[in-house]
């Protein structure tokens, strides 16, 4: 059990609790925890969340956040006294304590990373849903994406969208962990080749706050979105290959939450969108719109979802949080002209893309708004199959209850956060739905993120 929180200092005292930042402890590292760190305890029982360590190691840690009265401390492993057999030398020269915060597990062998992620999923299922792996229909493994099984010490180059921060000197880099400070870099090892070819890190970006580089899968489309500093002028862009350039104003509220909100984007030159290829269709994705970051993710997720749902000709299908229409298009192809698909999406730009992408399918209808508000207004009282691909925060109890009330024979829940998945699986169980099977995929190598697909079915009625 974590130690009890120390009592608050006397209200009459002006003495604030002392900061522990910089203090070092020698500790043994315990289990992995959600968020890219492991748990440890000091000799006096303080709880530490430690980055750059692995379970079972003996390390010296340095506190990065926390005070005498903190419930827990955050720390970095700065010296390894007894290393895990899974430890490797980080391939990236910018990884390590106090440096780039983009990757969590550069110091772990690829197979070990997947085992760590599996441990996190299992812990979240048990703690938040009261489910074992067997209850969830999960074999307990996290599968690599096709082509990502690289030798120990190597890094798959998978990230097709990279957002660089720019420092006061105009240098592109990535933010340090839990910090606004920027680590300038000359190359990101996990960036897809199409992103690296743009050479964003090799040039200066005066009067610029951030640069997002996009390399579409299945086309040669490349895009750079530039956010100038307030009042700044757009720099003259000369990159290593032809590219569309767009100016981004400050982010606005709304959209897909943690998966990308609405932004004001203005075309400078080139197309205001990229063309992605997946599920045997070409998809228009407008600037800043959501699309899976791993080049194999869209096809892999579509295959898994369709296998789990087993669509029938004539089905009534829902695609909730439908984005640019990926799952809606796959459903429409399988249910045939006598079936119907309703997609719901809150982002205006994504709705426009989805309607464009699926304009040849008159059995598909796309509605704009939040799922919990739009779904009851549609008048739909029954659905055969449902896909849900919510943002990182999950769908929530109300939406889960709305979906269950439609009585689908199968629900496919796509989750990029195991905690949100576990919470929503608990809501589904209370509403009469249980996992048929669950799959987990490592679509974000070197980071703590993981993608899961849970296929749900009505619980069997007891006699």
DSSP characters for 240-291? SS--EEEEEEEE-S-SSGGG---EEEEEEES-SEEEEEETTEEEEEETT---
Is 389 annotated to bind a ligand? Reply is yes
The predicted structure's pLDDT at residue 235: 85
Catalytic residue ranges: 416
> Is 2:42 a contact under the CB 8 Å cutoff?
no
The predicted structure's pLDDT at residue 264: 86
User: What is the H or E stretch that residue 423 is in?
Assistant: helix 418-430
229, with CB counted inside 10 A (0-12, 13-18, 19+), is middle
The predicted structure's pLDDT at residue 253: 42
The predicted structure's pLDDT at residue 207: 95
Is 25 annotated to bind a ligand? Reply is no
Is 321 annotated to bind a ligand? Reply is yes
Is 207 annotated to bind a ligand? Reply is no
**Hey, do 115-148+292-458 and 161-278 end up sharing a CATH topology, with the first three levels equal?**
no
Q: Which two tokens stand for residue 322?
A: 């439908």
| Fold entry, domain 115-148+292-458 | Rossmann fold (3.40.50)
The predicted structure's pLDDT at residue 250: 64
* Series of mean pLDDT values for 10-residue runs along the chain (463 residues): 46 74 98 97 96 98 97 98 97 96 96 97 98 98 93 90 97 97 97 96 95 96 95 80 83 46 82 96 94 98 98 98 98 97 97 98 98 96 98 97 98 98 98 98 98 96 47
| Fold entry, domain 161-278 | OB fold (Dihydrolipoamide Acetyltransferase, E2P) (2.40.50)
* Cα–Cα dist 37/253, whole Å: 30
The predicted structure's pLDDT at residue 251: 56
Cα–Cα distances in angstroms (integers) from residue 236 to residues 76, 161, 229, in the given order: 40, 21, 15
- Model's pTM, two decimal places? 0.92
List alpha helices for 325-395, DSSP H: 326-335, 348-357, 371-377
239, with CB counted inside 10 A (0-12, 13-18, 19+), is middle
The residues spanned by each domain of the chain are 1-84, 115-148+292-458, 161-278
The predicted structure's pLDDT at residue 1: 41
* Cα–Cα dist 203/225, whole Å: 15
- CATH code, residues 1-84: 2.40.50.140
């Amino acid at each position: 059990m974590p130690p009890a929180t120390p009592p608050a200092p006397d209200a009459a005292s002006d003495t604030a609790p002392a900061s522990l930042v910089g203090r070092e402890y020698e500790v043994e590292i315990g289990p992995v925890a959600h968020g890219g760190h492991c748990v440890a305890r000091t000799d006096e029982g303080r709880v530490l969340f430690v980055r750059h360590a692995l379970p079972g190691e003996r390390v010296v840690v340095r506190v990065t956040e926390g005070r005498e009265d903190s419930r827990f401390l955050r720390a970095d492993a700065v010296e390894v006294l007894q290393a895990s057999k899974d430890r490797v030398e980080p391939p990236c020269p910018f990884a390590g304590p106090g440096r780039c915060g983009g990757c969590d597990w550069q110091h772990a062998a690829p197979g070990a990373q997947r085992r760590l992620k599996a441990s996190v999923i299992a812990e979240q299922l048990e703690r938040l849903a009261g489910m074992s792996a067997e209850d969830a229909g999960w074999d307990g493994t996290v599968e690599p994406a096709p082509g990502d099984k690289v030798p120990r010490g190597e890094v798959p180059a998978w990230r097709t969208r990279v957002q660089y921060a720019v420092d006061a000197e105009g240098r592109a880099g990535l933010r340090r962990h839990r910090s606004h400070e920027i680590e300038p870099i000359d190359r990101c090892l996990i960036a897809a080749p199409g992103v690296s070819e743009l050479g964003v890190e090799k040039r200066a970006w005066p009067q610029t706050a951030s640069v997002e580089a996009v390399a579409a899968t299945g086309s040669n489309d490349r895009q750079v979105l530039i956010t100038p500093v307030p009042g700044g002028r757009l720099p003259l862009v000369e990159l290593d290959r032809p590219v569309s350039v767009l100016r981004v104003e400050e982010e606005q509220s709304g959209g897909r939450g943690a998966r990308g909100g609405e932004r004001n984007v203005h075309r400078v030159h080139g197309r205001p969108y990229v063309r992605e290829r997946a599920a045997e269709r070409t998809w228009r994705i407008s600037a800043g719109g959501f699309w899976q970051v791993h080049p194999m993710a869209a096809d892999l997720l579509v295959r898994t979802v369709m296998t789990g749902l087993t669509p029938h000709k004539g089905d009534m299908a829902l695609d909730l949080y439908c984005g640019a229409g990926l799952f809606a298009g796959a459903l429409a192809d399988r249910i045939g002209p006598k079936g119907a698909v309703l997609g719901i999406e809150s982002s205006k730009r994504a709705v426009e893309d989805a309607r464009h992408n699926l304009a040849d399918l008159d059995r598909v209808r796309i509605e704009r708004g939040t799922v919990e508000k739009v779904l009851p207004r549609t008048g739909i009282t029954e659905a055969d199959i449902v896909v849900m691909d919510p943002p990182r925060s999950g769908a929530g109890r109300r939406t889960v209850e709305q979906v269950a009330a439609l009585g689908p024979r199968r629900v496919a829940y796509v989750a990029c956060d195991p905690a949100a998945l576990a919470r929503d699986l608990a809501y589904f169980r209370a509403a009469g739905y249980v996992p048929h099977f669950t799959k987990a995929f490592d679509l974000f190598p070197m980071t703590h993120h993981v993608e899961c697909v849970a296929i749900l079915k009505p619980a069997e009625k007891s006699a």
